[in-house]
Amino acid sequence: MVDFKSDIEQIGIKKVEPKSRALEALKRLKNQESFGNSFSRLPKVERMIYEQPKTIQQHNVQYLLERINNIEKKMKEDSGEYLNLYYDLNLLEKKFIKAVDELRKFSIKVPDLLSKEIDKRYYKISKKFGEPHDV
């Protein structure tokens, strides 16, 4: 008769306990979780934070500026809706020009940070449409 136990002991093979399999699986899962959380350690991109708008016109300009930035970001992401987004962008840019003209018409003061952003965007859009607007 063949004695498998003695052969196994001579080779050095140990019987794996079911608990140790479960522990190994849990350790692997824990390692995967820590790998997945490594993305949270990346530095966050700071978003432009403006002061609370004091007038309706200022709120409209700020809102349009944020929407334009969001649409441009979506267009760069290759979302397959490029033409629809481009059309929406053109409409928003025209509304933005009108809203900024209204701000300037009523001489409404805007915080410096927002004012710089508005001026940059206004110049870019007016150049795009070929309209001679003063900044």
Domain-embedded: residue 99: yes
Dihedral over Cα of 74, 76, 78, 81: its sign? positive
32 burial type by CB count under 10 A (0-12 exposed, 13-18 middle, 19+ buried): exposed
Domain-embedded: residue 134: no
20 and 61 share one domain: no
* pLDDT for the residue numbered 68: 94
Domain-embedded: residue 49: no
Ramachandran assignment for 58, one of left (phi > 0), alpha (psi -120 to 50 degrees), beta (any other): alpha
Query: How many domains does the chain divide into?
Result: 2
125 and 60 share one domain: yes
What is d(CA 50, CA 61) in angstroms, rounded to the nearest whole number?
A: 12
Domain-embedded: residue 87: yes
Q: Which residue has the higher pLDDT, 83 or 3?
A: 83
Residue 14: is its pLDDT beyond 70?
Answer: no
22 and 80 share one domain: no
Q: Which amino acid is at 95?
A: K
Domain-embedded: residue 26: yes
Residue 10: is its pLDDT beyond 90?
Answer: no
Query: For residue 125, how many other CB atoms are within 10 A of its CB?
Result: 20
pTM recorded for the entire structure: 0.57
* pLDDT for the residue numbered 29: 73
- Dump pLDDT digits (tens) for 29-45: 777 655 555 555 545 55
Q: 83 is in which domain, residue-wise? A: 56-129
| Confidence band for 17, pLDDT divided at 50, 70 and 90 | low
Domain-embedded: residue 69: yes
